[in-house]
Amino acid sequence: MIVLLTDFGSKDPFVGIMKGVMLSYHPTLSIVDLTHDISPQDVAEAAFVLKTSLAYFPKATLFVVVVDPGVGTNRKIIYVETSRHRFLAPDNGILGWVLEEENPVRILEVKNSKYFLKPISNTFHGRDIFAPVAAHLAVGLNPEELGPAMRLEDLVSSPLPKPVQEKDGSWRGHVIYIDRFGNLITNLWQSLLHLKGDEKVELFLKGKTFKGFAKAYGNNHQNGGIVLLNSFNTVEVAVSHGNAAVAYGVKKGEEVVLRCLTSSS
């Protein structure tokens, strides 16, 4: 199974063309769209979506990740295998959060043009490199054919923002993703902050203070903002039956501070 994650959107035929290329090699291939609406060239957003999604896909799924502002320059394309999944992606840090969680067992540079479409454009490697290489892998190509091995430390280091802990124990992070409901998703990961979800917390955002944790979107009776641990296992600010991004005028990148009121108990 191949899973596609791109910033190609749904208007242009880019994704359809990639599928055409793959199905030309392998007509019964199963291709699933994770999303194609990553904000254009937003490597961090794609990294977040990938990290929070991949546990729900079958073992050995091949994730083809094409969020690639450097297409056509000398950035590398890499093939990575972990004990659970496989990835084709540009070497731009996009696999950073994944590789903190899953140890790579094989990293290769994708160089062997034998498996590319010709001529290779400078602007659409999704069609000319990613799609045909993915299809070849799906029909059983030995990945070693793709190119030379790389070491983890050879990869471009991840540009992804990390939260920091202040002296008073509070955590300073950022809104890293806003979903279609306007929920403000932060990089305050449950596992990193050792949160269980039953703590009392205060979250500070744009001069406002929010109390948490709420248990669900729907059970808020004040009709204001709520803080909860979401299904991605990060801290989130939401408005019940509303849109927090609009209500508070928040954009991606906004700073948040979380203080655990019951942390010392």
CB of 180 to a second copy, least distance (A): 4
For residue 94 the two structure tokens come to 């996009």
Angle subtended by helix axes 14-25 and 131-138, to nearest 10: 30
Of the pair 9, 170, the CB lying nearest a second copy is at: 9
Of the pair 12, 144, the CB lying nearest a second copy is at: 12
Query: Taking Cα atoms as reference points, which of 41, 40, 159 lies closest to residue 97?
Result: 159
CB of 168 to a second copy, least distance (A): 29
CB of 23 to a second copy, least distance (A): 6
CB of 149 to a second copy, least distance (A): 26
Distance CA 178, CA 123 (A): 28
Query: Taking Cα atoms as reference points, which of 37, 29, 24 lies closest to residue 3?
Result: 29
Of the pair 17, 141, the CB lying nearest a second copy is at: 17
Of the pair 16, 170, the CB lying nearest a second copy is at: 16
How distant, in Å, are the alpha carbons of 21, 79, 210 from that of 127? 7, 16, 46
CB of 32 to a second copy, least distance (A): 5
Q: How many helices and strands, by DSSP H and E, does the chain display?
A: 7, 14
CB of 245 to a second copy, least distance (A): 12
- Using CB under 8 A, list all residues that contact a second copy: 1, 3, 5, 8-17, 19-21, 23-24, 27-28, 30, 32-37, 40-41, 49, 52-53, 56-58, 61, 69-73, 75, 121-124, 127-128, 179-181, 215-219, 228, 230-231, 241, 243
Of the pair 10, 165, the CB lying nearest a second copy is at: 10
Of the pair 164, 177, the CB lying nearest a second copy is at: 177
Q: Around 68, how many Cα atoms within 13 Å sit in the side-chain half-sphere?
A: 27
Of the pair 172, 211, the CB lying nearest a second copy is at: 211
- Report which secondary-structure segment, H or E, holds 100: helix 96-101
CB of 219 to a second copy, least distance (A): 5
| Buried-state track 179-215, b at ≥16 Cβ within 10 A, e below 16 | eeebbbbbbbbeeebebeeebebebebeeeebebbbe
- Report which secondary-structure segment, H or E, holds 170: none
For residue 138 the two structure tokens come to 């799906």
Distance CA 195, CA 265 (A): 14
